[in-house]
Each structure stands twice: as structure tokens, then as C-alpha cells.
Amino acid sequence: MATNRLTGLMSGMDTESLIEQLCESRKKKIDTAKKAQKSINYKQEAWKSLNTKLKNLQTKYVTNMRFSSAYTKKTTKVSDSSVASVITGSNAINGSQTLEVNKLAKTAYLTGGELGDGKQGYTALSTLEDLGVSFDGTGKGTFSVTQGDNSLDIEVTKDTTISDVLTKLKDFGLNASFDEKNQRLFVSSKVSGESGDFSFSSSDVNATSALSKLGMVVDESDTTGKGATKIAGQDAEITLNGAKFTSSSNVFEINGLTITAQAQTKAGESITINTQDDTDGIYDVIKSFIKEYNSIINEMDKLYNAEDKKLEPLTDDEKYSMSDKEVEEWEKNISDSILRRDSNLSSVSSGLRSVMASGIQVNGKTMYLSDFGISTLGYFNAADNEKNAYHIDGDSDDSDTSGKTDKLKTLIANDPDTVVSFFTQLSRDLYSKMDSMTKSVSGYRSYGSFYDDKKMKTDYDDYNSKISDLEDKLNEYEDKWYSKFSSMETAMAKMQSNTSAVTSLLGG
């Protein structure tokens, strides 16, 4: 049964304030617990964000860079890009080749002749009888459509509509439509090349008449431009280094190169395609990795070295007395400093830095990043929280080192095998270190997590129970005091009542 909290009616005392003061220490315990729980939440959010970035570094760069295929970059230059374009695969062979484009692929396409004189206004629902086809004998006819090894017999009668014929052609696998404005049928293959070519034929006089009336019979002698025309399906043909190749499309995949023919070469002429190692591609892979690594290591240094502003999470009452902007700034300051001197953060950062600074055995020689013109700026030259970032000598995007000799590009151009060997091994070492730091630990850490996500969640949830218990005890304590003051008020009421009775008896 809930305690009656209506007090002070007889005594005139401000019992609400008195009880609030009596309970102040217990309320502080609840606030302290809530703030501690919020601190865990701030730390969880900070680590979730950082963990995502670390995993991205591992999956997007480190994982792939363990293999030489990540650095196998080649490029092909074409002497006349209007004739052909080339995509270079990793297994393409370096060297110069000659190319002739003999034929371009064509898609079979029938442009039907004008129906009637082109002015009758036929629609897709017009019948063959409407078109003027007269059927003799059986009253029906059959014509065949053939494409490659496939053929279909199509039966027609006087009631067959243009739409019926189009539907049959579509079911067979062709594109077919009727342009009412121009009074022409259009039929085309869905694929290019000789295999997509199609034809119509019939030995039936009725069907032959139907094909003619539909404008589907090509008359080579017609010069009016109103009759049917047909483009035959044709394979593309190229000559590469004297060898002929054909394709149903204009795309050829030959020995690591994807060649797209775009125009025929003139008779007796050829173009040159030259394939070579793409040193810029290898450089870009390494530069992108260094940039991503720097972004993360700088962030970790900033979080670890954050200024201790000695701020605690705000209670709801404290937020109520502040503006939204003040609350936002307060919470940002807490988030920015929540991982200050965090031991887990220090461990992860140290692990990454130790691998990056270690020596790698290449052909019996120990080499370091500095041997490739990649190093930190030094303690006194680097900006705050950027002392562990690496810079590439000669990098045009880096104002600190752009004026130095580009040792990395020189080594890529002159000895790419050594460069690839070093960075594949460095990436393997970095992958192993990151993998070891993210192994599952029962009750503490999930697989793939760089921080104790499970332990943080347990600690956070434990505070829910702790806060609930403290709130229950506070309510009980408040009820106890309200009950006492209520009893006092009741006693005072009885006393006043008795005093009034005595006074009445005495004639007062």
C-alpha cells in the first residue's frame, strides 16, 4: 500500500524540503551510478567508431596487400584510341603489339517496308485481310522464321492481326514492333554477330503474300526507300600480331587484354598497343595504405593524449538548467577525452607502430620503410598527435616532403620486385598483429573486436540493476520519513481535537 505523502497540514512544516535534504546523500549515489553508466556508454561509442576504422584498414588494405597480386598493375596505351580501347588484366604480357580491325560486329535488323502507301493508318490490330492478303484454297498459310539452328513455323489466316505476328516473333526470341506513325514493322535480334542473324521463308503462296503485305520481303532492286531493308548479323574480326580473331560482339579477351573494337582500320594500316608495368598503380596502392594508416594512428594519438577536462556526464536535472548548445559542447568534450590514457588504446596503437617500425628481410637484407623514402617527421618537426604518421618523400600532396627526392617511385620503376616483396611481408606481419589483437576472449571480447566489447556491455547492464536497487531503497527511505511525518501530523490533529473538546466542556 502506497504511503500517504500529504504532510505539513497541521504542523505547517515544509516536510517536502526536509525529506529531500534527508534523502540527498542517497540521491547522489543514484546520480553517481548513472554517470558511471553513461561514461561506459561514451567509451563504448568511441571504441565502436575506432573499431570500424581499424577493421576497414585491415580488410580494405592489409588483407589484400599480403599478396603480390595487389601490386600487379599494368597499363596499355593505344596509338589510336578511336579504333580500339583496351583494359589491361594483371596477367597481360608486357610488350608492343599490332592490331587491325577488319570488321565490326553488327546486329541483324529488319526495317519493314511501308504498309500500303504508308497513309492507310493501319494499327497493330489490323488483320491480314485489312492489308489486302487474299487466301486461296485452304484459307491459311505458313511461313518460317530461322535464327541459327532454331526455327519456328508461324501459321496465318485472314483474321491474323499484325499484333499476332509480332507476338509470335517475340516468343521466338526476336525484338518486334509496329510503328503506326511510319506504318512499318521493325524486327531485330537480341544479340549481335552472325549467330543472331535471322531470315523468313515460305513455299506457301498464301504465306508469301502475307510476308509481302507485311513489308517483310526485301527487294534489292528497290530504290524508292519505301521498301524493306535488312542488315545481316555480322561477327567482328580483328588481326592481332598477324593472327585473326572473331567475336559475336566487338569485345575480344585475348591473353590478359580486353580489346573493344570501335572503328575499322584502313586497308593496309594498323595501330599499336603497348603494355607495360603501371608504376603509378603500385605507388597509389602504397600511398592509399599509408594515408589510411596515418588517419587512424593520428586519431588514436589524439584520443590517448586528450586534455583531461575533468568533466562528468550530465544528469537530466543538470541538462535542464543548461542550453542545448551548452549540453552539446559538454558531451562532445567528454566524448573527445573518454579514451584519454586508455590502456587498451595504448596497446593497439603500440602494436601497429611496432610492426610499421620493424625490419623486413628482403633477399637476405633487412629493410625498413625509410629505405623506400617513407618515414615520420621526427618528434620536434611533427604536429601534435601526428608524430607517428608516415610521410612519403616526393609526395606532391604532402607539403612537408613534396620537395624531397621520390625514392619510392624510383625503386618501383627500377626494382618493383623488391618493393612488392617488402610490402607484402609488412602487410602479413601487420595482419598477424591485428588478428592476434582481435581474437575472442570469453566474457571480455568478441572475435574481430579490438576492445573488450562484451565486458563493457556486461558492466553497462550491471548498472541497470544497481541503479534500480538504489532507486528502490530511496523510495523506501522516503516512504519511511513520509510515514513518520504523517504520524506526527495525525497525532497533532488528535491533540488539537482533544484540546478543543476540553475547551468546550469548560465553556470556552
The secondary structure of 445-491 as a DSSP string is: B-TT-SS-HHHHHHHHHHHHHHHHHHHHHHHHHHHHHHHHHHHHHHH
Q: Kindly state whether residues 318 and 429 are assigned to the same domain.
A: yes
In a domain, 96, yes or no: yes
Q: Is 183 helix (H, G, I), strand (E, B) or coil?
A: coil
Q: How many helices (H) and strands (E) does the chain have?
A: 12, 19
Report d(CA 174, CA 145) in Å as an integer: 10
Q: Kindly state whether residues 239 and 347 are assigned to the same domain.
A: no
Report d(CA 434, CA 349) in Å as an integer: 10
Domain end position, chosen among 231, 253, 268: 231
Task: Write out the chain's pLDDT in tens, 508 residues.
Answer: 445 555 555 555 667 777 778 778 888 888 899 999 999 999 999 999 999 999 999 999 999 999 988 887 889 999 999 999 999 987 899 999 999 999 999 999 999 999 987 788 999 999 999 999 988 888 999 999 999 999 999 999 999 999 999 999 999 999 999 999 999 999 999 999 999 999 999 988 999 999 999 999 999 898 899 999 999 999 999 999 999 999 999 999 999 999 999 999 999 999 999 998 888 889 999 999 999 999 999 999 999 999 988 889 998 888 998 999 999 999 999 999 999 999 999 999 999 999 999 999 999 999 999 999 999 999 899 999 999 999 999 999 999 999 999 999 999 989 999 999 999 999 999 999 999 999 999 999 999 999 999 999 999 999 998 988 888 887 887 777 777 777 777 777 777 666 666 666 666 5
Q: Kindly state whether residues 300 and 407 are assigned to the same domain.
A: yes
Q: Kindly state whether residues 285 and 383 are assigned to the same domain.
A: yes
In a domain, 9, yes or no: no
φ, ψ of residue 373 in degrees (nearest 5): 75, 30
Q: What is the pTM of this model?
A: 0.65
Q: Kindly state whether residues 422 and 311 are assigned to the same domain.
A: yes
Determine contact, residues 157/139, Cβ cutoff 8 Å: yes
Q: Kindly state whether residues 239 and 100 are assigned to the same domain.
A: yes
> Residue 164 is part of which domain span?
109-231
Domain end position, chosen among 213, 231, 249: 231
Q: Kindly state whether residues 348 and 430 are assigned to the same domain.
A: yes
Domain end position, chosen among 212, 245, 277: 277
User: What value, to the nearest 5°, has the Cα angle with vertex 122 and ends 117 and 126?
Assistant: 130
Q: Kindly state whether residues 141 and 219 are assigned to the same domain.
A: yes
φ, ψ of residue 277 in degrees (nearest 5): -65, 140
Q: How far is CA 282 from CA 61, 290, 411, 468, in A?
A: 13, 13, 11, 59
In a domain, 480, yes or no: no
Q: Kindly state whether residues 248 and 318 are assigned to the same domain.
A: no
Report d(CA 244, CA 491) in Å as an integer: 115
In a domain, 3, yes or no: no
Q: Kindly state whether residues 370 and 264 are assigned to the same domain.
A: no
Instruction: Provide the domain count of the chain.
Output: 3
In a domain, 406, yes or no: yes
Closest CA to 273 of 102, 101, 98: 98
Report d(CA 168, CA 434) in Å as an integer: 62
Q: Kindly state whether residues 424 and 394 are assigned to the same domain.
A: yes
Q: Kindly state whether residues 294 and 334 are assigned to the same domain.
A: yes
